[in-house]
Structure 1
Amino acid sequence: MTASQRIARAILRHNRLFLLVLALLVAVLATGIPRLQFSTDNRAFFSRDNPEYRDLLALDAAYNSTDGLLFLLTPPEGAAFDPDALTALRDFTDDAWQVPYVLRVDSPVNLTLSRSEGDEILIEPLLPDTGPLTLADATRFREGLADLDEAEGRFVSADGDAFGMSLQLVLPGTEAGRDEAAAYVDAMLDIWRAAHPDWSFKVTGGFLGGLALERIAIQDLTWLVPLAALMVVAVLLFMMRTIVGAITTLVVAICGTVATLGIAGWAGIVLTAGTAISPLSVLVLLTASCIHVLLSWMRALDSDGPDRAIETALEENLGAVTVTNLTTAIGFLCLNFSQAPPLRDMGNIIAFGLLVGLAATLVVVPAGLRFDRRAHAARIPITPAMMQGIATAILTRWKLWLWLFPVAVLVAITGILRIGYDDSIFRYFAPRTEFRQSADAIQDKLSGLDSLQFSFKAPDGSVFDPAFLASVDRFAGWLAGQPGVVSVTSIADILKRMNGAMTGEDPALPDSREAGAQLMMLYEFSLPPGHDLTSTIDVSRTQTRLIAGLRVASSNETRDLADRAEAWLAANEPAIASRASGVSIAFARLSQQNNRQMLMGLAVVLAAISGIMVLTLRSFTYGAISLVPNLVPAVLAFGLWGYTFRDVNLGSTVVTTMTFGIVVDDTVHFLMHYLRRRRAGRVAEAALRDTFSVVGAAIVITSLALMAGFAVMTLSGFVINRHIGALTVFVVGFALLADLLFLPALLLALKGRR
């Protein structure tokens, strides 16, 4: 009696005890679900030792750390500078000051112009604060905006048909404060949209993005996970015609799902839009294991009684199902090499859910099948005769497949070379989401939402040192001329403008520290209430921040620009050289860093799974062969992606490591059955034909179930999940072809070796 037979019979003999233990375990884990929390902080994607994350903390420490909102207000066509439209703009600015926790409102209506008159500098608002507005006021306002270099792209669109307004908020550290501010903004916009239906109002901002991600996480968990369950149940009912089997599989999936969420709650893992989808992966993957057991049971029904059929199914699949779930769990555990904590968390909780699901598969499926007392199996759409016909078509052309797949890999590699990274936080939202639509509209009309920030420390201890200001100004001039840069704001621009107003000459930097300090003091006195320079100059006046607004197509351009800027500073202004900082460059560099780390993870997966396969198959040769059809699908999938979608993101970089364990499933079942037949004395061709008849249908059905389940992820509002789902569908689809076409060709090529 083999080990599989002994374990299978023990499971069946003590099935009720194992069911009780499993139920208690799932119940205990379920108590962790109420402890789950959702994150609204996009910085959750960075580990605490990430250099870009440390740069963000340094910016917060040096300058006034605020949360921002950016509004785009579009009046009716051609009416942007009518007195009525400007009155509405002024009223909207007044309402914006009522947003909870607002610190500062930068609006076109509170801009000022500086001019000299005799020995005085006059600083005047572009628009009167109160009273009815006239055509003369509107004309003066329009001309004044045109004279302000910093206005275009920030306060008014290039075509002059829309206005921009930014708010800075100092939010409390609680989620309630963020919710309060967001709710007020939503209510305010609802009122304005009702009162001005011919206007368009869009808003975006960092903390609104965090709240939008939280909503997406909750939606994915509450809608996509049940939808995936319905999809796999539908596949089971259509392909296998067994209600009991579908219900049993659903119970197994629920056990794994509860375990996944429960361990997250007990471990204190804060769910993000990236980790909330984890139960979907567990649900879909466990379905594949159940399908193999169910199909073995249905085959055995035709020759054995109902009880013996259950025992046969468990004996045949115990080893393969265990190896499959272990290798898949190892693949997910290797996400711990990722640079992003949410991806590490996802890997850990999915791996745990799979192990609990493995126990549920071996215990619940046999128990459930006892309720189905049919004497014969239902006829499924994919019959052994159909698989025999497919086997004949494949095996007679095995040399074609042996050459076709390497050629396809070479073509795919050229597609992989076309792939670039795109990790803009704003493009993490699906185009259908309101936040993404607002962000795209603002990006189109105003300055780019992406930015690069540089914090410069004055070597001589004062930001007003003429030499230091000249260095900052030279860099600002170089940066403004780079492709993709739409605006550059720095202390040098303010001082040049003020000095020009004071002297009546062309704008120029002050020639002494004292002059610079006096001009800056005069400028600060002229600012509207609530405005200051703490976001530009630190309190000690030894550091200043330069911000470049970008309009770029992908994070590749952001990263390339940051690299060039850092190199320019090192070569031309080494005294003030610093790193590019900000959320945009942090995400732009994260995928590259993550990809390097995941190569290590892939190496570990390859080593671990190859060792398991060698032990399972009891052959080094076949263990090595098993890796080939599992690596090829990832190459083909990314090659196809390179030819179609081009850009990948943070989630895409983990797909190869994650899916390697998944696609091992069908390969394990195929090879284990093939080797059993070969060791029983069958020649290679006969063993392959028998393997197609016995496990071919299971391979096709499990692949279809996996593809249907992971396709649901492409409906997520979070683009990282969409990429993971789509790429996994590609990988599983190519894995099906590799197992049915390429693997038999490899085995026939080596048929002389036992």
Structure 2
Amino acid sequence: MSGGWIVSYAELIIRLRWLVILGSVALAVALGSGGQFLGFSTDYRVFFGKENPQLKAFESMQQIYTKDDNILFVLQPRDGEVFTPEMLGAIRELTEASWQLPFSRRVDSITNFQHSYAQGDDLTVEDLVPARAGLTTEKIAAIRATALGEPLLINRLIAPDARTTGVNVTLTLPGESESEVPVAMAAAREIVEAFRERHPDITVAVTGLVALNNAFSEASFADLATLIPIMYGIIIAGLLIFLRSIAGTIATLLVVGLSAGTAMGLTGWLGINLTPPSSTAPTIILTLAVADSIHLLVTLLHAMRQGASKREAIIESLRVNFNPIFLTSLTTAIGFLSLNFSDAPPFRDLGNITAMGVIAAWIYSVSFLPAFLAVVPLRVKRQTTGSNDLMQRLAEFVLRRRQPLLYGMTALVIALAVWIPRIELNDQFVNYFDPSIQFRTDTDFAMENLSGIYQIEFSLPAAAEGGISEPEYLTKVDAFSDWLREQPGVVHVQTITDIFRRLNKNMHGDDPDWYRLPDERNLAAQYLLLFEMSLPYGLDLNNQINVDKSSLRFLATLENMTTREARVLKQNSEAWIAANIPASVTEATSPFVMFAYISERNIISMLTGTGLALVLISLSLIIALRSLRVGLLSIIPNVIPAVMAFGIWGLLVGEIGLASSVVAATSLGIIVDDSVHFLSKYLRARRERGASPEDAVRYAFATVGRALSVTSAVLVAGFGTLALSAFELNQSLGLLTALAIFAALVADFLLLPPLLLAIDKEKKHADEPKALPQAGE
């Protein structure tokens, strides 16, 4: 019997079983107590590393002007349009109430829009809908005409059909606490609830960046509340069906619980905040921890059914599985740790948390599990005939059809790989959320009825201090506004040149012929100063003009376009500015722009991480299997599943987001497990039993085939459970990984054996089966 030290270790575990059990529980409780420090991040910026150029450009923009987040209330009367006395009164009511929101700095709506007009020789600036004036039919008609003709309002705060309007609240969050966003959203929902009670005939939707931030934490809580119970149910059902052992099922559940608790506790001790991607770590750990236990239990229970005592079965199971389980845990941890190369910190956290869970699962599987099984009663029915008939038939099928399978699987992989280039990257942050999340439904409503939610911002520097009043500069800015309005997907452009046009008309008796840019710098500067002095508190122009009036903030609102289209618009816009306003060379930015580049950047960064993981995993296999040839051969079945999964995704879906950039790394560490167990059993038969390659394949199928089938089914079910997530990234991650795991089982059963037979030939083939070896032998 090989592995003498493992036998000694197993005997020690059995002898000290109570100490091992108590020590394991004490360790899990001590480490798991860190769970009290777990928190949830409520900032979309967590998806971007500190050195992310798009994040740096966005933060630079906010430093020049103001650091703004917003909540947008979208209002639509059930019948009729916005311009009625009742509706205008309701809008003003909500506008005034919105000033009371925590951290609010500015509130904009059609009612408090600062409308300017000439009154004799004076410039009058007042709310478009006066608070105390009676809203006569004539007055409402004038308000309607002004609002629908005002470039700063149309397609931004009022829909062209006058059916929908918005109240936009600008907030400045201190960034001192993770509770700021939930507090602001809770207050916003209270306002909306009270508003709905008073105005049940008005539909209200809530969107904006603060709502986006809050949706991230809500998605995390939703996943934790639903996915983990579902996963536990799947595990219990699967174990009872496959193991047919209540004690074995309980033991596995305890290992799973200890592993997940340890990992999440360590996460709390390390001060890592959860995000929607990293909040799936418990579900993934539950899935992976089951795989370790199943290999040990399948061998142990089979040995007992063949007549071995429980003590002998525990020792034999550890002897046979200790090294493969260690190796699979190591390679899985390497795969997840490679996520530290990700450009998105939440995926780094996911990798580190899961790696901690994988290591904890290995420790508990080879210590707590055998110790617990040594204590509890195990009742199994003794079998006199083999239970591997299915695996035996599959082995014979593979041996008979080795050449067709080799060529057929190769053709299938190539055919699926052709579909990979068809996949388009699209990271629209609204689509990250399932329609079951209120943010998604409200934002879809806003985009369909009022305006786009996606924006792109520019900062256009002038030549010097006060240079924004230069006619030449304003003319170029205006030309850029006109060009941008003509671009596909642009629904609104907010530019201060529209204010200069209106002021110039006002200062010439509201003569429409003067609705043009001032042609003198002094006049432009005077108009702007006079207008700013007339603005009430909170409605200044600091969000559009920097302190020394040497730069303008320029904002375009976009329809529901893809991130590829957004990247094209950004590049074309920057090219236009560089060619026409060279002194204002700038980088376009916004949260949407940041998300538009995140997949592209992450794929580039993960190429290094995945490549390094593949090298380390291959070296680990070469060393552990003590075979350069077999270790290198293992790369093929370990890479092919990801190719097949992405090929199927390209064929059936054709679009993917941020999840695509990490699936290769996460699935690599997991799909290696099947090939490790199959190869270790194959080499054991060749080296210890002197079996021919054909009989070694039979031995591998007989000893580990059923366990691989069971663990793959559990893994597919576990990652498939993520399809129920309310967060699209988790859905894609789960479904793609489940596809890769299923493809790995197919490759390890139908492709790996023909490859082994092709490179590991003997002069004399043993095509006829000998006595079929049993699991654990």
TM-score for both structures, normalised by structure 1: 0.95
Decide which of 79, 82, 90 is 1:80's aligned counterpart: 82
Report the AA paired with residue 314 of structure 1.
L
Distance (Å, rounded) in 1 between the aligned partners of 2:112 and 2:503? 17
Report Cα offsets for 1:279-335 as digits up to 9, x if no partner. 211111010111111110111111311211111111110011000001000111111
Report the AA paired with residue 203 of structure 2.
S
Which residue in 1 is equivalent to 2:146?
A: 144
Judge conservation of contact 1:538–1:544 (CA < 8 Å) in 2.
Answer: yes
Which stretch of the first structure deviates more once superposed, 190-199 or 723-732? Answer: 190-199
Judge conservation of contact 1:75–1:161 (CA < 8 Å) in 2.
Answer: yes
Which residue in 2 is equivalent to 1:544?
A: 552
Report Cα offsets for 1:364-415 as digits up to 9, x if no partner. 2212322454464588xx9401222223333322222212222222222332
Say yes or no: does 1:495 pair with 2:504: no
Decide which of 105, 108, 117 is 1:106's aligned counterpart: 108
Judge conservation of contact 1:153–1:445 (CA < 8 Å) in 2.
Answer: no
Judge conservation of contact 2:151–2:498 (CA < 8 Å) in 1.
Answer: no
Which residue in 1 is equivalent to 2:592?
A: 584
Which residue in 1 is equivalent to 2:269?
A: 266
Distance (Å, rounded) in 2 between the aligned partners of 1:12 and 1:611? 33
Distance (Å, rounded) in 2 between the aligned partners of 1:289 and 1:377? 23
Distance (Å, rounded) in 2 between the aligned partners of 1:576 and 1:161? 38
Report Cα offsets for 1:332-362 as digits up to 9, x if no partner. 1111101111211221121112112111000
Report Cα offsets for 1:451-508 as digits up to 9, x if no partner. 1111122222322222222222222222221111111112222212322333422532
For 1:8-407, list aligned pairs within 5 A: 8-116=10-118, 119-123=121-125, 125-172=127-174, 173-301=176-304, 302-371=306-375, 373-374=377-378, 376-377=380-381, 383-407=387-411
Which residue in 2 is equivalent to 1:438?
A: 442
Which residue in 2 is equivalent to 1:619?
A: 627
Unaligned runs of 5+ in 2: 764-777
Q: What is the Cα-based RMSD across aligned positions, in Å?
A: 2.2
Shift of 1:124: 5.4
Decide which of 635, 640, 643 is 2:648's aligned counterpart: 640
**Cα distance change, pair 412–553 in 1 and its aligned pair in 2 (3 A):** farther
Report Cα offsets for 1:543-566 as digits up to 9, x if no partner. 211111111332221122112222
Distance (Å, rounded) in 2 between the aligned partners of 1:244 and 1:438? 49
Which stretch of the first structure deviates more once superposed, 523-532 or 562-571? Answer: 523-532
Which stretch of the first structure deviates more once superposed, 683-692 or 658-667? Answer: 683-692
**Cα distance change, pair 28–125 in 1 and its aligned pair in 2 (3 A):** closer
For 1:725-736, list aligned pairs within 5 A: 725-736=734-745
Judge conservation of contact 1:249–1:290 (CA < 8 Å) in 2.
Answer: yes
Judge conservation of contact 1:273–1:718 (CA < 8 Å) in 2.
Answer: yes
Report Cα offsets for 1:416-438 as digits up to 9, x if no partner. 11112222222221222111111
Shift of 1:90: 2.6
Judge conservation of contact 1:678–1:687 (CA < 8 Å) in 2.
Answer: yes
Judge conservation of contact 1:433–1:717 (CA < 8 Å) in 2.
Answer: yes
Question: Secondary structure, in 3 states, of the residue corresponding to 1:276?
Answer: helix
Judge conservation of contact 1:659–1:728 (CA < 8 Å) in 2.
Answer: yes
Question: Secondary structure, in 3 states, of the residue corresponding to 2:201?
Answer: coil
Distance (Å, rounded) in 2 between the aligned partners of 1:653 and 1:265? 26
Report the AA paired with residue 356 of structure 1.
A
Report the AA paired with residue 26 of structure 1.
A
Say yes or no: does 1:746 pair with 2:751: no
Judge conservation of contact 2:148–2:158 (CA < 8 Å) in 1.
Answer: no
Which stretch of the first structure deviates more once superposed, 588-597 or 465-474? Answer: 465-474
* Count of residues in correspondence between the two structures: 753
Judge conservation of contact 1:450–1:551 (CA < 8 Å) in 2.
Answer: yes
Report Cα offsets for 1:69-111 as digits up to 9, x if no partner. 1111010232433332223223222322333332221111123
Decide which of 630, 642, 647 is 2:638's aligned counterpart: 630
Distance (Å, rounded) in 1 between the aligned partners of 2:10 and 2:439? 53
Judge conservation of contact 1:241–1:378 (CA < 8 Å) in 2.
Answer: no
Which residue in 1 is equivalent to 2:768?
A: none
Question: Secondary structure, in 3 states, of the residue corresponding to 1:451?
Answer: strand
Distance (Å, rounded) in 2 between the aligned partners of 1:511 and 1:387? 87
Question: Secondary structure, in 3 states, of the residue corresponding to 2:367?
Answer: helix
For 1:528-607, list aligned pairs within 5 A: 528-607=536-615
Which stretch of the first structure deviates more once superposed, 191-200 or 342-351? Answer: 191-200
Distance (Å, rounded) in 2 between the aligned partners of 1:663 and 1:431? 32
Question: Secondary structure, in 3 states, of the residue corresponding to 1:65?
Answer: coil
**Cα distance change, pair 293–580 in 1 and its aligned pair in 2 (3 A):** same
Distance (Å, rounded) in 2 between the aligned partners of 1:667 and 1:369? 27
Report the AA paired with residue 687 of structure 1.
A
Judge conservation of contact 1:8–1:318 (CA < 8 Å) in 2.
Answer: no
Judge conservation of contact 1:71–1:203 (CA < 8 Å) in 2.
Answer: yes
Say yes or no: does 1:681 pair with 2:685: no
Distance (Å, rounded) in 2 between the aligned partners of 1:222 and 1:736? 31
Judge conservation of contact 1:416–1:638 (CA < 8 Å) in 2.
Answer: yes
Shift of 1:175: 4.0
Which residue in 1 is equivalent to 2:524?
A: 516
Question: Secondary structure, in 3 states, of the residue corresponding to 2:554?
Answer: strand
Shift of 1:117: 5.7
**Cα distance change, pair 753–484 in 1 and its aligned pair in 2 (3 A):** farther
Judge conservation of contact 2:41–2:178 (CA < 8 Å) in 1.
Answer: no
Which residue in 2 is equivalent to 1:610?
A: 618
Shift of 1:123: 4.2
Distance (Å, rounded) in 1 between the aligned partners of 2:275 and 2:735? 20
Shift of 1:749: 2.2
Judge conservation of contact 2:81–2:162 (CA < 8 Å) in 1.
Answer: no
**Cα distance change, pair 84–625 in 1 and its aligned pair in 2 (3 A):** same
Shift of 1:724: 1.0
Say yes or no: does 1:718 pair with 2:708: no
Which residue in 1 is equivalent to 2:774?
A: none
Shift of 1:697: 0.9
Identity %: 36
Distance (Å, rounded) in 1 between the aligned partners of 2:146 and 2:498? 17
Distance (Å, rounded) in 2 between the aligned partners of 1:47 and 1:748? 47
Report Cα offsets for 1:614-638 as digits up to 9, x if no partner. 1121111111121111111111111
Question: Secondary structure, in 3 states, of the residue corresponding to 1:432?
Answer: coil
Question: Secondary structure, in 3 states, of the residue corresponding to 2:435?
Answer: coil
Distance (Å, rounded) in 2 between the aligned partners of 1:496 and 1:408? 64
Which residue in 2 is equivalent to 1:709?
A: 718
Judge conservation of contact 1:87–1:133 (CA < 8 Å) in 2.
Answer: no
Judge conservation of contact 1:500–1:506 (CA < 8 Å) in 2.
Answer: yes
Shift of 1:441: 0.8
Shift of 1:750: 2.3
Question: Secondary structure, in 3 states, of the residue corresponding to 1:270?
Answer: coil
Decide which of 477, 485, 489 is 2:482's aligned counterpart: 477
